[in-house]
Amino acid sequence: MNRISRSIAAALFAGGLVLGLGACSDVADEAAKQVEDEVVEEVDKQLNEEYQVTYEVTGAKADSIEFNAGGGDAADPKLETVKNPTLPWKKTVTLRGIEAPTVLPVALDVSEGGSDGLTCKIVYKGKTLAEESDAGVVSAAGCVAVSPIAG
């Protein structure tokens, strides 16, 4: 269970306990309001928390790399594209909240540079969150990870 879910579950449990013990008293109403405020504050805090990830792409050749550059949000991430990047390629970005780290390298003909294909990796604080490899006429080794804030 992730941190947000645990916080919400604990707060709701505490709120339910207070309501059950206090019935309809003013104390119970105030406690329920306080619990609700704390839940909202915790969710807001986690949704606005920033974190950095590093995207890494290796292989012989890539025609483009598309990646979540930050600045968007979970529902509408801001994607940037690098055309004809030099490999190996590495980029560190700052994301926020539950925004998913995403990197998608594409090679249209990997036979030009050998049979290595492409490998992508998403790293957070030295830990690999996602790693994928692909080889073929069209290679798209996309990596998408769950936000470490939500996970």
Q: Please give the pLDDT value at position 84.
A: 95
Burial of 74 (0-12, 13-18, 19+ CB in 10 A): middle
Asked if residue 96 is part of any domain, the answer here is yes
- Buried b / exposed e over 77-94, threshold 16 CB at 10 Å, is beeeeeeebebebebebe
Tokens read off for 68 = 């979540």
State the pTM of this model: 0.68
Q: Print the domain residue range for 32.
A: 3-48
Q: Are residues 63 and 21 in the same domain?
A: no
**CB hemisphere CA count around 113 (13 angstroms):** 19
Q: Are residues 22 and 59 in the same domain?
A: no
Asked if residue 119 is part of any domain, the answer here is yes
Q: Are residues 29 and 75 in the same domain?
A: no
Asked if residue 138 is part of any domain, the answer here is yes
| Nearest by Cα to 54 from 35, 36, 67, 37 | 67
Nearest 5°: phi and psi at 54?
-115, 130
Asked if residue 150 is part of any domain, the answer here is no
Q: Are residues 31 and 44 in the same domain?
A: yes
Q: Are residues 42 and 54 in the same domain?
A: no
What CATH number has the domain bearing residue 116? Answer: 2.60.40
Q: Are residues 37 and 80 in the same domain?
A: no
Q: Are residues 30 and 62 in the same domain?
A: no
| Nearest by Cα to 87 from 53, 117, 127, 125 | 117
Mean pLDDT by 10 residues, the chain (151 residues): 55 52 65 75 72 94 93 84 96 92 84 66 96 74 86 63
Nearest 5°: phi and psi at 78?
-85, 110
Q: Determine the Cα–Cα distance for residues 151 and 85; give it in Å rounded to an integer.
A: 31
Q: Please give the pLDDT value at position 5.
A: 55
Q: To which residue do tokens 């600045």 refer? A: 71
Q: Are residues 59 and 94 in the same domain?
A: yes
Asked if residue 151 is part of any domain, the answer here is no
Tokens read off for 45 = 């805090």
Q: Please give the pLDDT value at position 37.
A: 73
Considering its fold, how many domains does the chain have in total?
Answer: 2
Q: Please give the pLDDT value at position 115.
A: 47
